[in-house]
C-alpha cells in the first residue's frame, strides 16, 4: 500500500459524521485495502443474564452493523475474550487461515472488537492496528459529541438526528403490518419532583440521582434499546420490535425498580412514564407530543405511574392528538 492510499483511507475515516457511518466506512476500507472478507465490528455490552444461574453478569458482543443478529458471549469465542481481557491483537489459527481480533479502545476502555479472517502478514497486521487506532480515536470523538457527559446516554442533539431514520425504518416495516406482531415504541421518563431534590440537597446530589437513575434504566432495558437524556431530568427511550404486552411490562418494571431503589442522601425517588407506539408514524413532533400527553396524564393522577397513550385514548381518558401526517426534519 502506497502513502497516497494510506492518506486517502484516513481521510475517508475522518470525514464520517456518525458512529454508524464510521463503522461502515472502516469495514469497507479494510475489506478493499487488504482483500479480506468484510470484518465484523462487535460492540461490547454488559448484561444481567437471568436465564442461567452461572451467568449473573455477562459481557456480550453484537455486530454493530447488524443489530438484528443475535449476540454472542465473549467467553465463548477464544480470541475475542483474550483480546478484550489483554487489550491487544490476538490471532487464532483456523485451518490455513487465521482469525484476528483487534480491540477498539476509547479512553482506556475496550468498547468494540474488530474480527476478521485472513492469512496475516506482519506488515499488514501492524497497519491494521494503526487503522484500528485511527478508527478508535474518531469513534470516541463522535461519541463525545453525541453523548451526555453525565449519564453517557445519547443527548438531545443525537436524538434530533436519529429520530427521522428511526421513523422511516418503522414505516418501512409496516408494509406487512397485517402479519406483524412486534412494533416500535417511544417513551418519555420524567423524575418526579426533581426540582425539589436540587433545591433541597444541591445540584451535586441532583447529579448523583441522575447518574443512579440512568444506571437503573440501563439495567432494566435491553442493550440495543436507544436511551437518550432529552433534557434535565427528562429521558427518552426508543424500544424496537416488541409486542404490546412486553412494552407495558418493561416500563412498569422500570417504574418499580426506581421506586424500590434507595438513593443516597435523598432516599426514595419516583418516576412518571408516558409512552406511545411509533409504528407507521411520520411526524416526530406528534410522536413526542403523544408520549408527553401520556406523561402529563401520569402527573395529573399523582405521579409514580406509567401510561400508554393509545390505551388512554381508547379508554377516553384523554383527547387524541390530530396528526398532520407530514414529516418534520430536526436540525442539530
Name the helix (H) or strand (E) containing 174: none
Task: Supply angle C-alpha 73, 76, 81, rounded to 5.
Answer: 80
Instruction: Specify burial of residue 4 (Cβ count, 10 A radius: 0-12, 13-18, 19+).
Output: exposed
78, 106, 233, 234: the active-site residue: 233
Strands ordered across the beta sheet of 183-191: 226-231, 234-242, 183-191, 271-277, 306-308
User: What does the block give as the cell for 97?
Assistant: 487461515
Q: Are the CB atoms for 223 and 271 separated by under 8 Å?
A: no
Report how far Cα 294 is from the mean position of its chain's Cα atoms. Answer: 24
What is the torsional sign of CA 63, 66, 67, 73?
Answer: negative
* Torsion region of 64: left, alpha or beta (phi above 0 gives left; psi -120 to 50 gives alpha): alpha
Reported residue count of the chain is 332
User: What does the block give as the cell for 325?
Assistant: 401526517
- Strand ranges (E), the chain: 40-48, 57-63, 72-73, 90-94, 97-106, 109-118, 183-191, 226-231, 234-242, 271-277, 306-308
Residue 5 annotated among the catalytic residues of the structure: no
Q: Are the CB atoms for 218 and 148 separated by under 8 Å?
A: no
User: What does the block give as the cell for 231?
Assistant: 433534557
Enzyme catalytic residues:
233
Amino acid at each position: 500500500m502506497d502513502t497516497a492510499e494510506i492518506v486517502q483511507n484516513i481521510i475517508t475515516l475522518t470525514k464520517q459524521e456518525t458512529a454508524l457511518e464510521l463503522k461502515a466506512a472502516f469495514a469497507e476500507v479494510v475489506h478493499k485495502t487488504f482483500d479480506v472478507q468484510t470484518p465484523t465490528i462487535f460492540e461490547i455490552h454488559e448484561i444481567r443474564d437471568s436465564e442461567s444461574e452461572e451467568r449473573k453478569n455477562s459481557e456480550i458482543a453484537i455486530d454493530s452493523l447488524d443489530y438484528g443478529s443475535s449476540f454472542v458471549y465473549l467467553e465463548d469465542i477464544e480470541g475475542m475474550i483474550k483480546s478484550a481481557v489483554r487489550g491487544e491483537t490476538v490471532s487464532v489459527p483456523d485451518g490455513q487461515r487465521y482469525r484476528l481480533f483487534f480491540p477498539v479502545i476509547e479512553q482506556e476502555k475496550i468498547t468494540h472488537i474488530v474480527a476478521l479472517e485472513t492469512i496475516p502478514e506482519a506488515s499488514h497486521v501492524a497497519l491494521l492496528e494503526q487503522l484500528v487506532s485511527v478508527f478508535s480515536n474518531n469513534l470516541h470523538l463522535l461519541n463525545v459529541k453525541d453523548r451526555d457527559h453525565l449519564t453517557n446516554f445519547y443527548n438531545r442533539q443525537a436524538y434530533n438526528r436519529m429520530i427521522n431514520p428511526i421513523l422511516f425504518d418503522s414505516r418501512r416495516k409496516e408494509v406487512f403490518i397485517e402479519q406483524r406482531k412486534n412494533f416500535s415504541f417511544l417513551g418519555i421518563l420524567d423524575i418526579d419532583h426533581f426540582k425539589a431534590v436540587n433545591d433541597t440537597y444541591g445540584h451535586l446530589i441532583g447529579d448523583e440521582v441522575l447518574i443512579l437513575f440512568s444506571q437503573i434504566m440501563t439495567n432494566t432495558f435491553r442493550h440495543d434499546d436507544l436511551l437518550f437524556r432529552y433534557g434535565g431530568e427528562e429521558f427518552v427511550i426508543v424500544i424496537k420490535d416488541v409486542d404490546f404486552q412486553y412494552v407495558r411490562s418493561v416500563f412498569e418494571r422500570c417504574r418499580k425498580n426506581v421506586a424500590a431503589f434507595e438513593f443516597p442522601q435523598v432516599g426514595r425517588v419516583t418516576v412518571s412514564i408516558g409512552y406511545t407506539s411509533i409504528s407507521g408514524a411520520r411526524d416526530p413532533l406528534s410522536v413526542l407530543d403523544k408520549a408527553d400527553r401520556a406523561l402529563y396524564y401520569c402527573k395529573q393522577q399523582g405521579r409514580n405511574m406509567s401510561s400508554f397513550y393509545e390505551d388512554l385514548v381508547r379508554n377516553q381518558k384523554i383527547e387524541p392528538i390530530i396528526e398532520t401526517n407530514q414529516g418534520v426534519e430536526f436540525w442539530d
